[in-house]
Amino acid sequence: MPTGSYINGKWFHPNSDRLVKNINPADPKDVLAEFPAATAQDAQTAIDAAQAAFPMWRNTPGPERGRVLWRAVNLARQRLEEIARTMTREEGKVLKEARGEVLKGISLLEFFAGEGYRVHGKTMPSEVRDTFTYTIRRPIGVVGLITPWNFPWALPVWKIAPAVVAGNTVVFKPAENTPATASLLVEIFEEAGLPPGVLNMLVGPGSTVGNAIVNAPETRAISFTGSNEVGNALYQQAAKLNKKVTCEMGGKNAVVVMPDADLNKAATAIIGGAFGSTGQRCTATSRVLASPVVKNELVEQLRERASKLRVGPGLDESSDMGPAVDEKQWKTDLSYIEIAKSEGAQLLTGGGVPKSSNGGYFVEPTIFEGVTPNMRIFREEVFGPVLSIGVAQNIDEAIKFSNAVEYGLTTSIFTQDINNVLRYIEEVETGMVHVNEPTIGGEAQLPFGGTKNTGVGEREMAEEGVNFFTELKTVFINFGGTGERSMIR
Ligand code: ADP
């Protein structure tokens, strides 16, 4: 695996004293690699390379650009196990989740490969005579892609693939926690035949490299996923330079359980949504709003299932849940457990560090009961395995409490009542709604993203995800032979 950055088709070791230490969170003594951190100067070199490659790539036919992604699909399939193991070692998620993520990235590559045939505008009748009007979509130019660590493979894919298939050239900055998986992805694109300069990667800090990418006048669009703190500042900065931006940030996703819900299925969905990926998904389930009719039985099922989850290193096939990604996130998880206790929430299970942690950043699957909308644990994103259970008396309260947070990514309702399903879909303020299934998941062909403080800009994935990386051009062709615009009569 390369341990540097990648500019203009070449791997190199940035000339810097700062090292990005790539650590296994299940065993911090296990250092995967040390990446010399790229600098702001390297960012500019990458931007220049991307700019130089743009005319060639823009003029490459879309289907041909898509074929590079198809070749990446095959290479990724061949290296699935290597990618999954690397991801587990540096991010911590259990192997079956890592394998699932590789497959998700492959689906995204397949979908976006096909989009090479479909980047399209519209033909519409003109209001005036003898005039042919239509739109085309053209690539924007150099785009900056900044990603977090929680989906170190699929998330870079869902930004890079639409950007390059639409004809843009890319400067990509992965999170410092997960440079190894990102390097494998870049290596695959290289082997798939992406020409030099089309994709450039910088492993380095957000405060220097990320900032340089956002502030360079040449990067005309920025796609960011990460924290609200960074995303909000980035959005403001980019606005000053009139850049196109999409930011995907926090979530505080609820599952509503109505009196007629199948509790067994609801419990399965809630446990998977809350503790899958150690709760480190923006779509993780972090709140349950249960009808008082079913609450006690549901709580008992959740407590029993959560306490049976095997917490351990992701590389151990018998583990159900891996560690937090790093010491900082681990401390955040533990501090939210203390906050919840101090607010008067009742600890149902978990709440501490498993005995067998051996220095790894493990947290027990934790559930609080008696959580009310005024509590911080109800409103704030933890990004860890901490689930809050509260009560909603009826569908009105379920909608009100679902919406009583600043975020709006995803939500779910368990019920058999079609009226409640449709009302909930209509009134809940999220970008995605699930019915009788977990809050998690996205599909390549379906738009992904949220409302309110979760996100700004175009949805990701799907046709919308490609459209973000294009400029619309409106064309008027006058075949009247007069040289004038015909007047409306
Ligand atoms: P998380 O910790 O959830 O990944 P962050 O928002 O801290 O969220 O980081 C997301 C990405 O944004 C990372 O790649 C990080 O390095 C980058 N980043 C952090 N600070 C900045 C910044 N000032 N400008 C641009 N990118 C940044």
| Stretch 450-478: mean pLDDT | 97
pLDDT, tens only, 406-427 = 999 999 999 999 999 999 999 9
Q: What gap in Å lies between CA 210 and CA 174, rounded to an integer?
A: 9
> In the chain, how many domains are there?
2
**105 & 191 share domain:** yes
**258 & 215 share domain:** no
| Domain end residue (candidates: 406, 435, 464) | 435
pLDDT, tens only, 72-98 = 999 999 999 999 999 999 999 999 999
Residue 40 has pLDDT above 80, yes or no: yes
- DSSP string of 473-489? EEEEEE-SSSSSPPPP-
* Cβ of 206 below 6 Å from ligand 1: yes
Q: Are strands 123-125 and 131-139 parallel, antiparallel or unpaired?
A: antiparallel
**346 & 380 share domain:** yes
**329 & 392 share domain:** yes
Q: What gap in Å lies between CA 24 and CA 481, rounded to an integer?
A: 70
Tell me, yes or no, whether 489 lies in a domain: no
Ligand 1 atom at minimum distance from 205 CA: 16
Tell me, yes or no, whether 78 lies in a domain: yes
Q: What gap in Å lies between CA 200 and CA 84, rounded to an integer?
A: 23
Tell how far the Cα of 445 is from the centroid of ligand 1, in angstroms. 27
**462 & 387 share domain:** no
Ligand 1 atom at minimum distance from 225 CA: 10
Q: What gap in Å lies between CA 144 and CA 469, rounded to an integer?
A: 11
Residue 485 has pLDDT above 80, yes or no: no
Residues assigned a catalytic role: 248, 282
Query: DSSP state, 194?
Result: P
Q: Domain range spanning residue 313? A: 253-435
Tell how far the Cα of 224 is from the centroid of ligand 1, in angstroms. 8
Tell how far the Cα of 53 is from the centroid of ligand 1, in angstroms. 26
**363 & 412 share domain:** yes
**330 & 317 share domain:** yes
The CATH number of whichever domain residue 89 belongs to comes to 3.40.605.10
Comparing CA positions, the residue from 197, 184, 192, 208 lying closest to residue 20 is: 208
Tell how far the Cα of 365 is from the centroid of ligand 1, in angstroms. 26
pLDDT, tens only, 112-154 = 999 999 999 999 999 999 999 999 999 999 999 999 999 999 9
The CATH number of whichever domain residue 421 belongs to comes to 3.40.309.10
Ligand 1, residues 18, 35, 146: which to mutate, most atoms within 8 A of Cβ?
Answer: 146
* Cβ of 33 below 6 Å from ligand 1: no
* Cβ of 173 below 6 Å from ligand 1: yes
pLDDT, tens only, 337-359 = 999 999 999 999 999 999 999 99
Task: Output the pLDDT for position 487.
Answer: 64
**135 & 106 share domain:** yes
Comparing CA positions, the residue from 338, 56, 4 lying closest to residue 201 is: 4
Q: Rounded to two decimals, what is the model's pTM? A: 0.97
* Cβ of 210 below 6 Å from ligand 1: yes
> What does the mean pLDDT of the chain come to?
97
| Stretch 209-223: mean pLDDT | 98
**62 & 151 share domain:** yes
* Cβ of 230 below 6 Å from ligand 1: yes
**217 & 301 share domain:** no
Tell me, yes or no, whether 444 lies in a domain: no
User: What SS3 state is found at 421?
Assistant: helix
Tell me, yes or no, whether 258 lies in a domain: yes
Tell me, yes or no, whether 486 lies in a domain: no
Q: What gap in Å lies between CA 326 and CA 340, rounded to an integer?
A: 21
Rounded to 5 degrees, φ, ψ at 94 are -70, 155
Hey, how many other C-beta atoms are within 10 angstroms of the C-beta on 75?
Answer: 18
The neighbouring-strand residues paired with 12 are: 5
Q: What gap in Å lies between CA 152 and CA 144, rounded to an integer?
A: 16
Ligand 1 atom at minimum distance from 204 CA: 16
Tell me, yes or no, whether 447 lies in a domain: no
The neighbouring-strand residues paired with 321 are: 311
Per the CB < 8 A criterion, the answer to whether 458 and 293 are in contact is no
Rounded to 5 degrees, φ, ψ at 241 are -100, 10
| Stretch 7-12: mean pLDDT | 98
Tell me, yes or no, whether 312 lies in a domain: yes
Residue 27 has pLDDT above 80, yes or no: yes
Alpha-carbon distance values, 80 to 95, 207, 320, 433 (Å): 11, 32, 20, 30
Check the CA dihedral 123-124-130-136 and report its sign: negative
* Residue 484 pLDDT class (50, 70, 90 cuts): confident
**71 & 167 share domain:** yes
Report, in this order, helix, strand and coil percent for the chain, each rounded to 5. Answer: 40, 20, 40
| Stretch 465-485: mean pLDDT | 93
Comparing CA positions, the residue from 400, 389, 159, 181 lying closest to residue 285 is: 389
**279 & 361 share domain:** yes
Alpha-carbon distance values, 252 to 139, 319, 377, 383 (Å): 34, 26, 10, 9
Task: Output the pLDDT for position 2.
Answer: 86
Q: Tokens standing for 153?
A: 């493979």
Tell me, yes or no, whether 448 lies in a domain: no
Alpha-carbon distance values, 313 to 92, 95, 325, 326, 366 (Å): 7, 9, 12, 13, 18
